[in-house]
Amino acid sequence: MLTLHDHPRSGNCYKVRLFLALIGMDYERRFMDVLARKNQTAEFERISAFQQIPALVDGDTALWDSHAILLHLAHHYAPAWLAPLPRIGAMHAWISVSANEIANSLQPLRLTHVVSKAEAAHHLGVDEALLDMPGMRRRTERVLRRMDQHLAAHDWLAGSDAPTVADIACYGYLALAEEAAIDLCAYPAIAAWRGRIQQLPGYVPPGA
């Protein structure tokens, strides 16, 4: 049995829960109260080296980082979610977009809207006075413009005929865009892509 340590409000945890639902995997879900710093223990550090969630225990293997977990699950249980060889580089490039561009724009912008400014600053590792929300919004809009341009020409991010791990990686926080006060009407190709993901068999919404 897989064990997932997660928090219901985390976009990174949602990516993993969504993927597990899409591939029909049973798992045990363990709530980790990161706001109360319950992840900052030596016991949890043995599972997640940087005390991060999500963290997945699969037999003798413990993994952290949502993208590493998605790739582990795909390689071991759902290889159809890996891009065909000609598109494998594109798949990994878009996973990198999730881990870098989205993680440094939409993800922190949304955090400043769903928790207090002091809590957001703590999780982002900066002083509250240094929270640059206008900068986060500019970076978010830049990322979304580029994604929208790409998705206007491709149904799925890797350019393959079916969704891949890259789509789930990027969808996690795009599913929560409204919580960052982002109006996706300005990004019709992203909105259509979100609709395609929501129609996939087994789909579960954020918070489920």
Question: Is 82 in contact with 91 (CB distance < 8 Å)?
Answer: yes
* pLDDT mean over 110-139: 83
pLDDT tier for residue 125 given thresholds of 50, 70 and 90: confident
For the cut 80, the answer to whether the pLDDT of residue 135 exceeds it is yes
> What integer pLDDT is reported at residue 32 of this predicted model?
73
What's the whole-number mean pLDDT along residues 29-47?
A: 72
Quote the percentage of the chain above a pLDDT of 70. 94
pLDDT at 67 (0 to 100): 97
Better-predicted residue by pLDDT, 30 or 101? 101
pLDDT at 43 > cutoff 80: no
CB within 8 Å of 196: residues ≥ 6 apart: 155, 156, 163
Is the pLDDT assigned to residue 120 strictly greater than 90? Answer: no
Burial degree of 184 (CB within 10 A; 0-12, 13-18, 19+): middle
Out of 14-23, 90-99, 129-138, 199-208, which region has the weakest mean confidence (pLDDT)?
A: 129-138
Confidence of residue 44 (pLDDT cuts 50, 70, 90): low
Burial class from Cβ neighbours inside 10 Å (0-12, 13-18, 19+) for residue 201 reads exposed
- Residues 53, 13: contact at Cβ < 8 Å? yes
What local confidence, expressed as pLDDT, does residue 7 receive?
87
Instruction: Give the count of beta carbons closer than 10 Å to the beta carbon of residue 27.
Output: 18
